[in-house]
Amino acid sequence: MEPLSPWPLTCLLLLVLPGVDAQAGQDFELQQPQDPVTVPAGQTITLTCTISEDGPAGPVKWLKGRDSGVVVYDQTGSSPRVTRAVNGSNTDFTIHIRDVQPEDAGIYYCVKFRKTLRGEEEFRRGKGTEVSVRAKPTPPVVSGPGHRVAPGESVPFTCASGGFFPEEINVKWFKDKGPISAQQPQITPARTKSSYNMSSTVTLTLQRDDVRSQLACEVQHPTLTAPLRGTIQLSEALRVSPSVRVAIDSRTPVEVNETINFTCDVEGFYPSDVDVTWLENRMEVKVENLTKPLKTPQGLFKLRSLLEVHVTEDKNGSAFTCRVVHDAQAPVSETALLWITTPAKGGQSDLFQTPYDNLLPIYIVVGVVCTVLALLVAAILYLIRAKQSKGKSSPSARLHEPEKSSEATTQESDPNNLTYADLNFDKERKTIRRMAEMSQQSEYACIQASHPPANDDNLTYADLDMVHLSKAPKRPAPCPEEATSEYASVQIPRK
């Protein structure tokens, strides 16, 4: 009998080996008993895996992720942070992962591979161990608007933090240690889905005195023993525009050819970035003594700029302007006029200051006031004349001294001379006639203008109550008005 050739024997062995490997795989065991594991970031985590010895030929690996997972440990090489718990063991494949980070969170599988003619293929896989990494949130960062705003405007402020796990987080806002209300924070998963990010927003209406205020955001998380705090100064978002005032710092009157100072006070501004320029009749004037802003107790800034001017006659009426550019904003300016009034005799002059931009409104106001006063005077004169015109028909009385003549010259010094009265009154119905008062030192005289008519209402009387009748020659008295006048009496005391 001839011996068998080597080739048929080799083929026979290849046919037998798969059967042997299949028999061995039926008794193979892989155990990954751990439940989900949570570890603080930066710590070391241990993942347990054991296998039986009767497994097929092939390596044991640790993979992160179920499908096409990332290789964490391989017998031929692995990450520097991953080590075997028992080196050289064929059954214990427990590993340690040092300095775990949030990105290390996930599900880890212990997998047994076997070798085939096509290479390595998965033979047995463990149930997997879920790993969670408790990560602290990053320090919160508070940011404001991208530009400065004026007092009275409302602006949002944002507090952001991320990289934390688990999801629960609490956010509080404070302004100068006083709590303020804010919206609920928005929490979103990170790109790796192993941690979370947070964003919280609060809206504030800024005020002038907020240049010294601080806004704070506090973040509380289960991984923290004390809250994390982020702050921002409200002055970073606030702009307070300056007030500008120009004055003449000098004595009045001022001698010509003297030097005076124009003062420009720029007050109450923030931030301190300011540029001051002087103009004379819209032409820039160079100022050598430049000053820096000073900080006030309120947190604002102030600045004073001086301009020296040599007083000459040709500067009469010149306009001096202080132009201020604050924080690259539109210019703010104030103007003062220089008036030099030289007396006719003498060498002194008067210096006046008036706001250039306010001259026209002053002239208008003065013109209106003068017009109103003129109308008022005209109205008063009209009322006076109307009253006088109306009084021409009112009752009147005229007292006359006797005419002087040569015959009566000798009697001018006689106090007993007769004084007569012309009485002219409008007609008015009288029901009761007044009798002249009688005394021991008076005499009574009655003058009747005409024969008494039947009706007493048309009668005119003149009762003269005198000291004594005149001793002068009798002269006819002036006739009274026609019977449209009425009764009156005149009493003349003794001289």
Question: Does the pLDDT value for residue 17 go beyond 50?
Answer: no
Reported as a pLDDT band with limits 50, 70 and 90, residue 348 is very low
Is pLDDT larger for residue 441 or for residue 324?
Answer: 324
Q: Can you give the pLDDT at residue 359? A: 53
Whether residue 329 lies inside any domain: the answer is yes
Let me know whether 309 and 251 are in one domain: yes
Question: Does the pLDDT value for residue 375 go beyond 80?
Answer: yes
Question: Does the pLDDT value for residue 427 go beyond 60?
Answer: no
Reported as a pLDDT band with limits 50, 70 and 90, residue 52 is very high
Whether residue 62 lies inside any domain: the answer is yes
Where are the strands (E) in 67-190, listed by range?
A: 70-73, 82-84, 95-97, 106-116, 119-125, 129-134, 141-143, 154-164, 170-175, 178-180, 186-189
**Domain boundary, last residue among 74, 108, 134:** 134
Q: What is the CA 101 to chain-centroid distance, rounded?
A: 48
Question: Does the pLDDT value for residue 55 go beyond 90?
Answer: no
Question: How many beta carbons lie within 10 A of that of residue 192, not counting itself?
Answer: 13
Q: How confident is the model over 419-432, as a mean pLDDT?
A: 46
Q: Can you give the pLDDT at residue 140? A: 97
Q: What is the CA 6 to chain-centroid distance, rounded?
A: 102
Q: Copy the structure tokens of residue 486.
A: 């009425």
Let me know whether 260 and 343 are in one domain: yes
**Domain boundary, last residue among 221, 237, 253:** 237
Q: Copy the structure tokens of residue 6.
A: 């080597």
Amino acid at residue number 216: A
Reported as a pLDDT band with limits 50, 70 and 90, residue 492 is low
Domain, as residue range, for 485? 395-401+415-495
Let me know whether 196 and 115 are in one domain: no
Burial class (CB in 10 A: 0-12, 13-18, 19+), 95: buried
Q: Can you give the pLDDT at residue 63? A: 93
Whether residue 428 lies inside any domain: the answer is yes
- Highest mean pLDDT among 12-26, 48-62, 410-424 belongs to 48-62
Question: Does the pLDDT value for residue 440 go beyond 50?
Answer: no
Let me know whether 120 and 186 are in one domain: no
Give SS3 for 280: strand
Residue position matching structure tokens 């070391």: 44
Give the Cα-Cα-Cα angle 369, 370, 375 (nearest 5 degrees): 100
Reported as a pLDDT band with limits 50, 70 and 90, residue 23 is low
Question: How many beta carbons lie within 10 A of that of residue 123, not counting itself?
Answer: 20
Reported as a pLDDT band with limits 50, 70 and 90, residue 194 is confident
Q: How confident is the model over 414-432, as a mean pLDDT?
A: 47
Does this model's pTM top 0.75? My answer is no
Let me know whether 156 and 207 are in one domain: yes
Q: Bridge-partner residues for 284, per DSSP? A: 279
Reported as a pLDDT band with limits 50, 70 and 90, residue 392 is low
How confident is the model over 229-285, as pLDDT tens digits?
999 999 999 999 999 999 987 666 667 888 888 999 999 999 999 999 999 999 999
C-alpha distances out from residue 392 to 100, 382, 460, Å: 120, 16, 19
CATH code, domain with 181 = 2.60.40.10
Give all strands of the β-sheet with 154-164 in edge-to-edge order: 141-143, 154-164, 196-205, 186-189
How confident is the model over 103-121, as pLDDT tens digits?
898 899 999 999 988 888 9
Question: Does the pLDDT value for residue 350 go beyond 60?
Answer: no
Nearest one of 134, 215, 214 to 169, comparing CA atoms: 134
Give the DSSP H or E segment for 13.
helix 6-26
Q: Report d(CA 149, CA 324) in Å as an integer.
A: 19
Q: How confident is the model over 418-428, as a mean pLDDT?
A: 47
Listed in sequence order, the residues at least 6 apart from 93 whose beta carbon sits closer than 8 Å to its beta carbon are 49, 50, 51, 60, 62, 73, 84, 110
Number of domains in the chain: 4
Question: How many beta carbons lie within 10 A of that of residue 112, not counting itself?
Answer: 23
Maximal C-alpha separation, the chain: 215
Question: Does the pLDDT value for residue 420 go beyond 50?
Answer: no
Entry field: residues in the chain: 495
Whether residue 107 lies inside any domain: the answer is yes
Let me know whether 118 and 188 are in one domain: no
Question: Does the pLDDT value for residue 129 go beyond 90?
Answer: yes
Question: Does the pLDDT value for residue 474 go beyond 60?
Answer: no
Whether residue 389 lies inside any domain: the answer is no
Let me know whether 249 and 180 are in one domain: no
Nearest one of 109, 118, 120 to 70, comparing CA atoms: 109
Question: Does the pLDDT value for residue 403 go beyond 90?
Answer: no
Let me know whether 127 and 185 are in one domain: no
How confident is the model over 202-230, as pLDDT tens digits?
999 999 999 999 999 999 999 999 999 99
Listed in sequence order, the residues at least 6 apart from 83 whose beta carbon sits closer than 8 Å to its beta carbon are 95, 96, 98
**Domain boundary, last residue among 134, 149, 173:** 134
Question: Does the pLDDT value for residue 78 go beyond 80?
Answer: no
Of 51-60, 84-93, 148-157, 460-469, the least confident:
460-469
Question: Does the pLDDT value for residue 321 go beyond 90?
Answer: yes
Q: Can you give the pLDDT at residue 160? A: 97
Question: Does the pLDDT value for residue 477 go beyond 60?
Answer: no
Q: Report d(CA 61, CA 44) in Å as an integer.
A: 19
Give the DSSP H or E segment for 382.
helix 359-390
Q: Can you give the pLDDT at residue 352? A: 42
Question: Does the pLDDT value for residue 143 go beyond 80?
Answer: yes
Cβ proximity of 424 and 431 under 8 Å: no
Whether residue 295 lies inside any domain: the answer is yes
Whether residue 369 lies inside any domain: the answer is no
Q: Can you give the pLDDT at residue 411? A: 42
Question: Does the pLDDT value for residue 69 go beyond 50?
Answer: yes
Whether residue 406 lies inside any domain: the answer is no
Let me know whether 250 and 325 are in one domain: yes
Give backbone dihedrals phi and psi of 283, rounded to 5 degrees, phi first. Answer: -110, 130
Let me know whether 253 and 231 are in one domain: no
Question: Does the pLDDT value for residue 155 go beyond 50?
Answer: yes
Question: Does the pLDDT value for residue 39 go beyond 80?
Answer: yes
Let me know whether 213 and 250 are in one domain: no
Q: Mean pLDDT over all residues of the chain?
A: 77
Is pLDDT larger for residue 30 or for residue 448?
Answer: 30
Let me know whether 342 and 419 are in one domain: no
Of 166-180, 307-321, 352-366, 389-403, the least confident:
389-403
